[in-house]
Amino acid sequence: MKFDHVIHFIEETPESATEFWNRQKLKAVAGGRHEKWGTRNALLYGKDSYIEWLALEERKVAEGADHPLTQLLLHNGAGFGTVCFRTESIVALDERLKASGFQTSGILDGSRRTAEGKLIEWKMLFIDEEPSARLPNPFFIQWGESDDQRYAALRESGAVTAESDGLLLERCIFGVEDVEAAEARWKQLLGGTLQLPNCRIEFRDLQGRQERLEEVHYQNGGRRIEFEKGVYFI
């Protein structure tokens, strides 16, 4: 299992997000539309993970979507939402989590249409829960293509550049009320470790109003950038 991406909810448009990050000399791109969920996104790719800035496009569609991410977005407002890990066997993962006592969403299909009209598809798995001030569980994804195939297509489109290879995620820091309990739960979810091949998960005493991801750190992250109530060291 590997870290796949951060979900960061924004009130600005994806176009505004790309403009902000491009001014920081970082290659952000418009992602596309989730037509069934009423959302749009902007993306910043690193070497093997990325940031997704997710915005409402059609509130009525989002409210009627009955999807864990749209529910969390509507509850959360601007700021970090949750994180996603990718797996090569989402069916086996679903079975393991259920055997461990977790109630899951079952495997859900996802898709978005890029600005160029290409349809990108994937499968997702969530832990059943209602949005609240408690730390959301991570969710899981299995892409329809291998990592090599997906990144080759991203390079061809210009979303991934040579500079992207220098963006190596180091750690994500979450603020929680009970560090020990959070560590134990996430180790169970992630197969026994908080040190993934491409990211370390850390927990600390809560510093905000609700339990959430608080900081995203990249290797050699010398700049502190605040954006839409999220903090990056990049």
- Residue 112's pLDDT is 78
- Give yes or no for residue 229 having a pLDDT over 90: yes
The C-alpha atoms of residue 117 and residue 95 are separated, in whole angstroms, by: 35
- Residue 35's pLDDT is 83
Mean pLDDT computed over every residue of the chain: 94
Q: Could you read off the pLDDT of 194-210 as tens digits, one per residue?
A: 999 999 999 999 987 89
pTM: 0.94
CATH superfamily of 2-233: 2,3-Dihydroxybiphenyl 1,2-Dioxygenase, domain 1 (3.10.180.10)
**H helices within 80-217, ranges in order?**
90-99, 147-157, 179-189
- Residue 33's pLDDT is 85
Domain boundaries, the chain: 2-233
- Residue 209's pLDDT is 83
Name the phi and psi angles at 53, rounded to 5.
-95, 115
Q: Which of 74, 72, 81 is CA-nearest to residue 7?
A: 81
Name the phi and psi angles at 223, rounded to 5.
-105, 135
Q: Could you read off the pLDDT of 105-125 as tens digits, one per residue?
A: 999 998 877 767 778 889 999
Could you tell me which residues come within 8 angstroms of residue 220 by beta carbon, excluding any fewer than 6 positions away? none
